[in-house]
Amino acid sequence: MIIEIGNVTFVPKLIQNLKHITDEEKEYEFLWESEGILASFESNDVIEQLISYAIDKNQSNILRGYCTGALSKSKGKVDILIFKTLAEDDNLLVRRNAIHGLRKYPALEVKEILFRHINDEDGWIQHEIIEILGEKGLLIELVENNRLPIKFYNITVEAYLKQIMKYSLYKLIPTLNELSSIVKDNNRLQIQIAETYCYLSEEGKAKKDYREFL
């Protein structure tokens, strides 16, 4: 399909093509490229079309997921309430993309939404939320409000440690002890916790962690 830059007239046809896709893995490249194309438009009309399909539970999971993905990366203006609503969806791809879309909003606008979904059953959503909270300076507040995940997935632990080191979050050192007990049977994560202690100049605790599995 040849596309003229800025020409929105082909958008309905592109979306119609997405409607007929049933094998996400087989058609991934086309889906990914289509999502990027749809995200490139600032037109309110295109935004409204994407929203209408994203929120319509009668549409296929693939179509809804990739329309949400286009909204999350859109160059146009998308009301944050759209992502707040879609973050509650049963469709995993919709939820993942809705959470990703929150990256472009100010900390005060996304804080409660992110806190609310920190216990999502999907590890990648937890991972993304921890990254966004770190980027927006909200991780310490999450801990101070006792809102850490009830269940930490391994990828969430990795994201949490990276944010602590990236932003030198010394106030979160006490939480490393809790994490160490949670992942006590995972040597790789224990090493990462020890490395985080070292990075924050807590060398004594780091050596203790290393000795426990040497």
Query: What pLDDT is stored for residue 210 in this prediction?
Result: 44
pLDDT single digits (tens) 81-102: 999 999 999 999 999 999 999 9
Rounded mean pLDDT of 33-62? 95
Tell me the whole-structure pTM to 2 decimals: 0.89
**Two structure tokens written together for 154:** 């391994």
Report the C-alpha gap between 47 and 75 in whole angstroms. 10
The rounded percent of the chain whose pLDDT value lies above 70 is 91
- Residues belonging to the chain: 214
Confidence of residue 214 (pLDDT cuts 50, 70, 90): very low
pLDDT higher at 72 or 25: 72
Residue type, 57: K
Query: What pLDDT is stored for residue 43 in this prediction?
Result: 92
On average, the pLDDT of the chain sits at 90
Report the C-alpha gap between 83 and 49 in whole angstroms. 15
CB contact at 8 A, 47 and 78 = yes
pLDDT single digits (tens) 92-146: 999 999 999 999 999 999 999 999 999 999 999 999 999 999 999 999 999 999 9
Report the C-alpha gap between 176 and 160 in whole angstroms. 10
Query: What pLDDT is stored for residue 105 in this prediction?
Result: 98
